Amino acid sequence: MTANRNNDKLTTSWGAPVGDNQNSMTAGSRGPTLLQDVHLLEKLAHFNRERVPERVVHAKGAGAHGYFEVTRDLSQYTKAAFLSDVGKRTPMFIRFSTVAGELGSADTVRDPRGFAVKFYTEEGNYDLVGNNTPVFFIRDAIKFPDFIHTQKRHPQTHLKNPTAVWDFWSHSPESLHQVTILMSDRGIPATLRHMHGFGSHTFKWVNAEGRAVWVKYHFKTEQGVQNLDVKLAAQLAGEHPDYHTEDLFNAIDNGDFPAWTLYVQIMPEEDANSYRFDPFDVTKVWSQKDYPLIEVGRMVLDRNPENYFAEVEQATFSPGSFVPGIEASPDKMLQGRLFAYGDAHRYRVGANHNHLPINRPIAEVNNNQRDGAMNATNNGGGSVYYEPNSFGGATESPQHKAAAFEVSGQADSMSYDHDDHYTQPGDLYRLLSEEERARLVQNIVEAMTPVKSDEIKLRQIGHFRKADPEFGQRIAEGLGL
């Protein structure tokens, strides 16, 4: 690290030199302090505001800069410019995170890891905001606040509450697939470099002719998948709670640049109506036998942030940040996230969060959004501030309209048509080796032991039994039920 020597004078935030930074201005040596000491007032007022509200979820994270390079031409499926040419490189920033813990929580807890990638493309920023798992606990955004409440602290004791966690999961059988992954060896990655990443949701790709396909993203780590032993993870959580954060920084700092190969699964648009699982249900995967992985490109992380707060903490990602050629699917969880993420950033960082350097597009921005706190631009100057107009202001581009799609049916609060929540977690259990199954069962037993209600335990065991009778039986025996 080298000090910034561009300006050796200490100044106020408005650039005036500071005459004394050791003593506040007082009436005599004893005081009281004078209100006219504006440097003191500014220091204290800014200090009180140095922490933006932490993220409700994914508060603890680490990030890095890098690039994405296209290795295969897939323009037959998408018109997205940053995917258009083999060899094309796009700058990007990634933020890894745990989900449930606070900003100061340990890196090595059993938790999914956020895997959020911002591509700075010539058509605007594209954010792919996923996890290190291909599925999620729930499939409708209306359940998300309740789910996250179970992962947070009890309002009376301010302690983590396993009873709430397993009560919610036992009432939500769609969570079983993700629970099985979370409680397996993959629940605690060895480092952020040694795990896969997924878009998790189904998205839509549209080509230049307007033809659409459904797509799922898979980032495969080139470092190989490695996980932590439970006891070692617990030891690190106590002795070295920032273990993953430090590992990522040091690897890049030492020139050991981590990389991932991006693959996609592509489903023809019409297959969505006949596939054996609902392809928009984020608690399910598509079989790779049905829709094989197709290589797209390679992501390499080669530069650490210069300032954690400015880049990692203030980075804002939204699955609704699309570019032409990439659109949303009817995935109900995704549909909720399209609003919720941007709204969280407007609350946490401010309405003008995209003015910040880490979030600012490299593409020119022309819109009629004005004013708001911390507006870091010329606020549109004296230009036209509405549309349509008669004065040459920015206009819409009909060629970039989202692809049309059919909707049908009665407007109502309803679930997905498919409710098989047991086949895929059962298949996953049977794919594991005996050693992996034993560790999975032991992890679940240890996690469920503190639950205060046998009714909750038995309800959850019933789900494990439906996935695989042996799976449920071993957990029941481990819990003495």
CB 144 within 8 A of CB 340: yes
Axis-axis angle for helices 454-467, 162-170 (nearest 10): 50
User: Among 65, 125, 131, 201, which one carries the catalytic annotation?
Assistant: 131
How is residue 124 written in tokens? 């605007």
Number of Cα atoms under 13 Å in the Cβ half of residue 459: 15
How far apart CA 418 and CA 459 sit, in angstroms, is 21
How far apart CA 123 and CA 323 sit, in angstroms, is 6
- DSSP symbol at 187: G
How far apart CA 66 and CA 91 sit, in angstroms, is 6
354 is catalytic: no
CB 100 within 8 A of CB 141: no
Burial category of 87 from C-beta neighbours within 10 Å (exposed 0-12, middle 13-18, buried 19 and up) = exposed
How is residue 458 written in tokens? 């038995």
Report the greatest alpha carbon distance in the chain.
84
368 is catalytic: no
User: Among 58, 201, 218, 244, which one carries the catalytic annotation?
Assistant: 58
How is residue 377 written in tokens? 């631009």
Which residues, 6+ apart, have CB-to-CB distance to 167 below 8 Å?
150, 451, 453, 456
For residue 107, report the phi and psi dihedrals to the nearest 5 degrees.
-75, -25
For tokens 């969505």, what's the residue?
272
How far apart CA 400 and CA 431 sit, in angstroms, is 44
Beta-bridged to residue 420, according to DSSP, are none
Annotated catalytic residues are 58, 131
